[in-house]
Every structure is written in C-alpha cells, then in structure tokens.
C-alpha cells in the first residue's frame, strides 16, 4: 500500500485557508464550548416541554376543582354526599360502616 502524498497535500491545502480555520473554530466553540452549547440547548428544550405538560396538568386540575367548588356551593345534596364519602361524616345518632376490601392480588416478578 503506497502513501499518496498528492492527496494529503490537497487536503492540507484546503485547511490552509484562514477563513475556513476560523469558521471551524467558531463552530466548535459555539457547538460545544460555549455556555449556550448544543447540549445545554437540548436540555433546556426538553425541560420546557416538561414544564408545559405540567402547566397543562395544573390548568386542568384548577378547572376540575373550580367546577366541583361551584357544585358544592349550589347543591346541598351534593355537599352532603361529598362530606359523607370523602370525610366519613355522619348525622347524629347514625352509624357509619366502612367496608374494606381485604382481597389483595400479589403480582410476582
């Protein structure tokens, strides 16, 4: 196998241009060494996506809760049902029996 000096020389001549060298150095600097490099930009974009999902989740929760609050304020029957189911409230001289499901299915790994 012979070493081709002519081909090596033409490759070196391409990199002899100072504008090309400055451009390559600039791209390496901006792409990897700068504070706002490509890796940190990717991390920021993925964090922004997660935050937007979280924001949408909380908007839906606020909407659902505000609907429930309006219903609790306007409907006394629903208020009583909510208090009985959620906080196990009862009327005087009334007993509440709590039914607990004791069957547990174990999943083996």
Residues of the chain by 3-state class (helix, strand, coil), percent to 5: 70, 0, 30
Concatenating the DSSP letter of every residue in the chain gives ----HHHHHHHHHHTT-HHHHHHHHHHHIIIIISTT-HHHHHHHHHHHHHHHHHHHHHHHHHHHHHHHHHHHHH-HHHHHHHHHHHH----TT----------------
Task: Tell me: pLDDT of 21 over 90.
Answer: no
Domain ranges across the chain: 55-109
**Whole-number Å distance between alpha carbons of 38 and 56:** 27
Report the pLDDT value the prediction gives residue 73, as an integer from 0 to 100: 96
Enter the tokens of residue 40. 């940190």
At 30-85, the pLDDT tens digits run: 888 888 888 899 999 999 999 999 999 999 999 999 999 999 999 999 999 999 88
pLDDT at position 33 is 87
The model's pTM: 0.57
Say if residue 86's pLDDT is above 80.
yes
């Amino acid at each position: 196998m012979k070493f081709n000096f002519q081909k090596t020389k033409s490759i070196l001549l391409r990199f002899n241009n100072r504008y090309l060298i400055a451009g390559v150095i600039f791209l390496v600097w901006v792409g990897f060494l700068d504070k706002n490099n490509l890796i940190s930009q990717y991390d920021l974009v993925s964090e922004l996506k997660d935050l937007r999902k979280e924001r949408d989740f909380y908007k839906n929760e606020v909407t659902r809760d505000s609907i429930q609050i309006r219903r609790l304020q306007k409907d006394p029957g629903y208020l009583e049902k909510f208090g009985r189911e959620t906080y196990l409230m009862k009327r005087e001289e009334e007993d509440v029996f709590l039914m607990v499901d004791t069957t547990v299915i174990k999943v083996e790994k």
